[in-house]
Amino acid sequence: MDGFFTEQGNDVDNWTELMLIYNAALKQIETKIEILNEEFQHVHSYNPIEHIKSRVKTPESIVKKLKRQGREVNLENMVEYVNDIAGIRVICSFTSDIYTIAEIIGKQKDVKVISIKDYLVNPKPSGYMSYHMIVSTPVYLSDRTVDAKVEIQIRTVAQDFWASLEHKMNYKFEGNAPAHMKKELVECAEIVAKLDETMLQLNEEVQNYSTSAKEN
């Protein structure tokens, strides 16, 4: 948090500066991921990433999160305790791509991995599956360098489709969806997991066949 705000700045100036920094961090991480995807296409003739989504949390969402945490709403607490102000979602074809991308991101010299939550190995009770990383990256301003946090969510197309529906349900029912819908959503998550597993196996068979065909 040191160096995040200018000493002379008022709340409005500091808020503007805060958003500038998070937007810059978001662009830097997003560019890194796009370059990674282009490199894979060049070296391996393969794109592990289907698409990328990015966003900066709205002021309303930030305030709600701090209140849920029981913290005072101020800029210092936003920086310290809200880790997903800047967020990137990376959508992959296969589960194997998720770990490949996460490993390469973690090896970037100017990216520091703060925390990891692997909801593929340990799905949430709702059935939610994804791979979450909180990283920090330096943002170079005219008078100083500031480390800013970015949340990276990496998931398959099928997992993203499922998560989108879960989000709609939670929003519509304010987190209190009917029991039968929650049950069916968990069952759908199990189907998604099986689908991803089968698709990965089929893809590996295709790749192995292509390799053996070339050798013969």
Q: 187 an active-site residue? A: no
Tokens representing 156 are 């398959």
Cα–Cα distance list, 24 to 4, 124, 130 (Å): 13, 31, 25
Confidence band for 53, pLDDT divided at 50, 70 and 90: very high
Our count of domains for the chain comes to 1
Residue 196 domain-assigned (yes or no): no
Q: In this structure, are residues 157 and 92 in contact, taking their beta carbons and an 8 Å threshold?
A: yes
Kindly state the average pLDDT of the residues 27-40: 93
The catalytic position among 103, 151, 190, 205 is: 151
Q: Measured between alpha carbons, how far is 2 from 142 in angstroms, rounded to an integer? A: 16
Residue 89's domain comprises: 11-157
Does residue 175 fall inside a structural domain? no
Is 182 within a domain?
no
**Over the stretch 105-158, which tens digit does the pLDDT of each residue have?**
999 999 999 999 999 999 999 999 999 999 999 999 888 899 999 999 999 999
Residue 1 banded pLDDT, cuts 50, 70, 90: very low
Q: What tokens does 35 get?
A: 């370059």
* 35 inside domain: yes
- Establish if 98 belongs to a structural domain: yes
Using an 8 Å Cβ cutoff, are 17 and 6 in contact? yes
Which residue is it, tokens 């560019």?
A: 31
Residue at token pair 């390799």: 211
Task: Report yes or no on 124 lying in a domain.
Answer: yes
Residue at 207 is within a domain:
no
Q: What is the CATH number of the domain that holds 34?
A: 3.30.460.10
Mean pLDDT value across the chain: 90
Q: Is residue 179 part of a domain?
A: no
Instruction: Give me the torsion for CA of 157, 159, 164, 169, rounded to 10°.
Output: 160
Per-residue model confidence (pLDDT) at position 184 = 95
